[in-house]
Amino acid sequence: MVNLTIDDKQVTAPKTATIYEAAKLNGVNIPILCHDKKLKPFGACRMCLVEVEQMKGRQIPACTTPVTEGMIIRTSTPDIIKARKMVLELLLLNHPLDCPVCDKAGDCDLQNLTYEYKVDSNRFADEKFHHQIDYNNPLIERDMNRCVLCGKCARICDEIVGFGALTFINRGIETKIGCEFEEGLNCEFCGSCISVCPVGSLLARPFKFKARFWSLTKQKSVCGYCGTGCNLTLGVKDNKVLTTLYDENQGFHNGQLCVRGRFGYQFINSDQRLTSPLIRTNGRLMECTWEEALTAVASRLTGGNSVAALATPRLTNEELFLFKKMMLDNVGSSNFDHSAGYAHAALTEGFSRSLGASASPATILDVQKTDLLLVVKTDSYETHPVIGFEINMGVKNKGIKLNIISDKRGKLSKLPGANTLVHSPGSEVAVLNAIAKSILDQKLTDGSASSIPGYAELEKALAAFTPEAVAASSGISADSIKKIAKDYASAEKALILFPVGQSYPGHNQEMASAVANLVILTGKIGKEGCGVLCMSEKSNSQGAVDMGFYAQNGGMNSLQILDACKNGTVKTLFIVGENPVVSYPNGANVKAALDAVDFLVVTELFMTDTAAMADVVLPACSFAEKEGTFTSTDRRVQYVKPAIRKDVKCKTDFEILSALITKLGGQAPSSPASVFAEIAANTSGYAGMSYINLQNNGAFAPVNVTPKLVASKAAPAVSAESGKLAMVTGSTLYHSGTLSQFGEGPMHVCPEAYVEMSRNDAARYKITEKDLVTVSSSTGSIKLKAKVTPRMPEGVVYIPYHFSETPVNAIWNGSAVTVVSIAK
Amino acid sequence: MNPITPIINGLSITLKHLFMKPVTLQYPDERPKVAARFRGLHALNVSHNKAKCVACYLCPTVCPAKCITVEAGEDDNHDKFAAKYEIDMLRCIFCGYCVEACPVDAIRMTGEFELANYHRKDFIYNKERLLEKK
Ligand code: SF4
Ligand code: SF4
Ligand code: SF4
Ligand code: SF4
Ligand code: SF4
Ligand code: FES
């Protein structure tokens, strides 16, 4: 701490603070235009000038100058005010005064400062800029005539997003912000640049002219897409969510969002939303009343285990808890599951047996606190982009060492110093085991490791996984495996990340145990910046596990339920929000099962392929219309409240389930709050949480670990037949599950599935970018556009799984690697 | 006092007024002369064959009666224009704040005061009805 004087007030500030930060800490406001707390100091605008007595009264920028002991600072002398006015005059010289038609008005730093400093005339005269405005981009409109050259957009895109799409072009008065070769923007569309632009140079096109900033109601919420659990502010007007707004103080991520969170909100007010219950009469789905629909459903929810349920992990904890309770107590069936079963196996089976808890011991906050990151699959960036930002920042600013083992390269491999080991598809568990083996061989284990149960068995089981043996099957050299083992074990703090989800069947209990073994063997657990984070797929995937909404005590899992539908053991299937026809493996099998089941109920927002097959369809509500809690991948329990009123004809899943419980003769709970009280009392880690407190701040549910070493079985390597390719599926950056297909933003940038392949394979099959190719496997074939990229290894193709039009499950039966052939 | 005097006085006043210029306006046969600053029905100013309004939403923001509805649209040149501009005259208090707020001089108040009508819906003036008649 240093002592200094700001505006005649004696204050203290941390040694590392700048004058601006010190002033802010002590309640003195210094105006800024080019500074952002998330970015490195830049000093481009000179709005923050202050006088420091020791510097002979010279005016210096507060945002870049560190404080020193005894500094005497004045922030608003007449001279400074004059200087700031001059800065504004010079900016306004070229800035078009089109506030009436600029969407930024009302939230514009330049406008606010001009008003505050009463700059109502200009002593200078000059021409305005005549830059071409980019109206063509579907998501980001760029009007460089309004730019004040603060550089925030270029800096955030580089420093945090790590994409580097924008940069300064030209010099002097000609300087402007643009893309390479003055081309259009073709980036991740995370919208971070829009969020920090102090003026209206970068604007969200989907929101163009929709409403004024001041007429929006700002509703805080939690993103309903992936498990990162980012906090959002929704801009609401006339009961419609019109945009997402930036709040730099929100969440661990300081308001940063990915393309889905920022631009994928349109599904909430989509006119394709279902608005009436539907019941199948004479083979067609016809509108009916809620009473009719619910009575029909309740009458079929009898017969104990012949009823089964699948739910989406996008329901709230309260809904999942209630659903489970209904199934067990009122229906009398233990057949319920979510996410195709295997997508949560890493937690429910893997971590349960290895760590004694079905949750990750590390949190997202540990990413920045660690010394070394071991990431399984470069897809981690695409599945959880905002965690990806944390990795970017950690690696770039803190020098965290990044090691990746993956079946393809990706954005993360481009980070400075990133060490990417590309292995043959499907051999990740073998590689992890080889790392464990190498740790044992190099005697790098933690002192306590040998006393942990299972050590001897593991040692025996790992004998088959010598780096040399795995090198032969995985294509990674034995030396690199040994080096990663050494680096990982000898790092003081190290963290392992791996994504799970419906498109990653190989990321199952075996991978979880293999990863847990590494963590336990090296003692990297229970300390800050250490451990493992299993990145769960959807907004409440971790919650669904915590609520116990999966096959337990003899209940059938998702895939068994579908089989049971086919063979007639399950007669009623109740699907809440899942879209198995598109997102579960082996689409034909899923369709056959849904066809065969006697009675199919689907609760949905949209007429999905699954809902279209139902006997009763119930219109439900999105996350923006309901109340409850979501648990993020690192067990942050966060409250969501209704941002808009729901359509009168729709019911939340909570209301639907409550109504059914009443019809089944049970006692429905009074509100989500009362259910949460029950959850807090019954769920490990949730004890002591209060619904009221969560409304202000999320809370972490602690994870208690009892380590055990469990040998994990590695899937045999897939031998590539000649003339065939290995297909892996996965989650693409712009989408999450199948819901994002109803968000216009994601669909603008990534409207359809594609098959991504290496340049060599493309050349071999004489395929060029965007060619329509037929991909066939033993189960079927689909036609997709080709995407040729340098990141794919030869012999491997990648197809994302989200799309109803061309579902990958036509050729994918749920194995981690599928052998396919390709023809033009 | 002579009881007749007041009657005479009264009648003389009546007589005087018979020859004075009448104050009563024989509306609707006679039309009032409306002052330039009168705040009557609004008109949207036109320039280059287009309404000048750029749909900045300042008038609906300032309007104390909250009777203006604006919806912006994007025209072929990507410019902002009022796709919808409506004033509910039943709620308008003719304060003129909207005129004062407009940054582009797109709205004024005319001398038009004959706003009576039979149906509530007829008091909603849409953009078509508000455009100035030349
Ligand atoms: S949207 Fe994101 S990736 Fe694209 S330019 Fe802006 S900050 Fe960079
Ligand atoms: S576009 Fe916006 S954020 Fe980027 S330099 Fe210009 S004013 Fe700053
Ligand atoms: S999709 Fe995931 S990473 Fe993106 S904003 Fe939502 S929660 Fe955050
Ligand atoms: S005159 Fe006053 S009340 Fe009437 S529309 Fe204008 S601002 Fe509103
Ligand atoms: S203030 Fe003027 S320009 Fe703005 S919406 Fe009203 S009439 Fe149109
Ligand atoms: S805010 Fe300090 S120079 Fe711009």
* Residue-level pLDDT at B134: 65
Q: How far is CA A824 from CA A763, A767, A769, A793, in A?
A: 12, 7, 12, 20
**Euclidean distance between CA atoms A195 and A691, whole angstroms:** 31
The DSSP code for A226 is B
Q: Is any Cβ of chain B less than 8 angstroms from the Cβ of A398?
A: no
Chain A neighbours among B 51-110 (CB < 8 Å)? 54-58, 61, 72-74, 78-80, 103-104
Distance A210 CA to ligand 1 centre (A): 22
Q: How far is CA A356 from CA A317, A447, A500, A550, A684, in A?
A: 22, 21, 19, 17, 12
Name A384's Cβ contacts closer than 8 Å, sequence gap at least 6: A226, A227, A228, A499, A535, A633
**Euclidean distance between CA atoms A549 and A310, whole angstroms:** 9
Q: Does the beta-carbon distance from A101 to B56 stay under 8 Å? A: yes
- Which residues in A lie closer than 8 A to residue B56 (C-beta atoms)? 99-101, 105
Asked, for residue B52, whether it belongs to a domain, the answer is: yes
Domain that holds residue B49: 31-130
Q: Which atom of ligand 5 is nearest to the CA of B68?
A: 6
Interface test mutation site (partner B, options A102, A108, A205, A212, max chain B beta carbons within 10 A): A212
- Which residues in A lie closer than 8 A to residue B73 (C-beta atoms)? 209
**Euclidean distance between CA atoms A454 and A450, whole angstroms:** 9
Pick from A100, A133, A208: which is nearest to B74 by CB?
Answer: A208
Asked, for residue B7, whether it belongs to a domain, the answer is: no
Interface test mutation site (partner A, options B68, B78, B81, max chain A beta carbons within 10 A): B78
- pLDDT < 70 stretches in chain A: 719-720
- Which residues in B lie closer than 8 A to residue A105 (C-beta atoms)? 56
CB A646 within 8 A of CB A622: no
CA angle (A397, A402, A407) in 5-degree steps: 140
Q: What is the pLDDT of residues B34-91, one digit of tens each?
A: 999 999 999 999 999 999 999 999 999 999 999 999 999 999 999 999 999 999 999 9
Name A724's Cβ contacts closer than 8 Å, sequence gap at least 6: A819, A820, A821
Kindly identify which residue of chain A lies nearest to residue B61, measuring between CA atoms.
Answer: A215
Distance of CA A257 to the CA centre of its chain: 8
CB A23 within 8 A of CB A10: no
Asked, for residue B11, whether it belongs to a domain, the answer is: no
Pick from B57, B73, B78: which is nearest to A215 by CB?
Answer: B57
Q: With a 6 A CB cut-off, is A91 part of the ligand 6 pocket?
A: no
The DSSP code for A646 is P
The DSSP code for B20 is S
Asked, for residue B21, whether it belongs to a domain, the answer is: no
Q: With a 6 A CB cut-off, is A189 part of the ligand 1 pocket?
A: yes
Give the residue from A157, A204, A207 showing the smallest Cα distance to A177. A157
Kindly identify which residue of chain B lies nearest to residue A215, measuring between CA atoms.
Answer: B61
Q: With a 6 A CB cut-off, is B70 part of the ligand 5 pocket?
A: yes
Asked, for residue B24, whether it belongs to a domain, the answer is: no
Q: How far is CA A566 from CA A561, A573, A588, B103, in A?
A: 9, 11, 12, 68
* Residue-level pLDDT at B24: 87
Q: Does the beta-carbon distance from B56 to A100 stay under 8 Å? A: yes
Q: Which atom of ligand 3 is nearest to the CA of A229?
A: 7
Residue position matching structure tokens 């809620």:
A290
- Provide the whole-model pTM: 0.94
Pick from A101, A211, A214: which is nearest to B80 by CB?
Answer: A101
Distance from CA of A101 to the nearest CA of B (A): 6
Q: Which atom of ligand 6 is nearest to the CA of A45?
A: 4
Instruction: Provide the phi-psi class of A43: left if phi over 0, else alpha when psi is between -120 and 50, else beta.
Output: left
Distance from CA of A172 to the nearest CA of B (A): 29
The DSSP code for A326 is I
Asked, for residue B13, whether it belongs to a domain, the answer is: no
Asked, for residue B59, whether it belongs to a domain, the answer is: yes
Token pair recorded at residue A508: 């199952």
Asked, for residue B8, whether it belongs to a domain, the answer is: no
**Euclidean distance between CA atoms A546 and B125, whole angstroms:** 57
Chain B neighbours among A 212-231 (CB < 8 Å)? 212, 214-215
Domain holding B53: CATH number? 3.30.70.3270
Distance from CA of A245 to the nearest CA of B (A): 19
Q: How many domains does chain B have?
A: 1
CB A178 within 8 A of CB A188: no
* Residue-level pLDDT at A720: 63
CB A342 within 8 A of CB A505: yes
Radius of gyration of chain A (CA): 28
Q: Which domains does chain A have, with CATH numbers?
A: 2-76 (3.10.20.740), 124-266 (3.30.70.20), 278-339+542-686 (3.40.50.740), 343-537 (3.40.228.10), 725-823 (2.40.40.20)
- Which residues in B lie closer than 8 A to residue A133 (C-beta atoms)? 78
* Closest-approaching ligand to the CA atom of B109: 4
Kindly identify which residue of chain A lies nearest to residue B106, measuring between CA atoms.
Answer: A100
* Residue-level pLDDT at A719: 67
Distance A499 CA to ligand 2 centre (A): 34
Q: Does the beta-carbon distance from B104 to A208 stay under 8 Å? A: no
**Residue A39: other Cβ atoms inside 10 A:** 16
**Euclidean distance between CA atoms A541 and A708, whole angstroms:** 24
Q: Does the beta-carbon distance from B73 to A99 stay under 8 Å? A: no
Q: What residues pair up with A775 in beta bridges, in sequence order?
A: A782, A822
Kindly identify which residue of chain A lies nearest to residue B59, measuring between CA atoms.
Answer: A100
Kindly identify which residue of chain B lies nearest to residue A104, measuring between CA atoms.
Answer: B56
**Is the pLDDT reported for residue B3 higher than 90?**
no
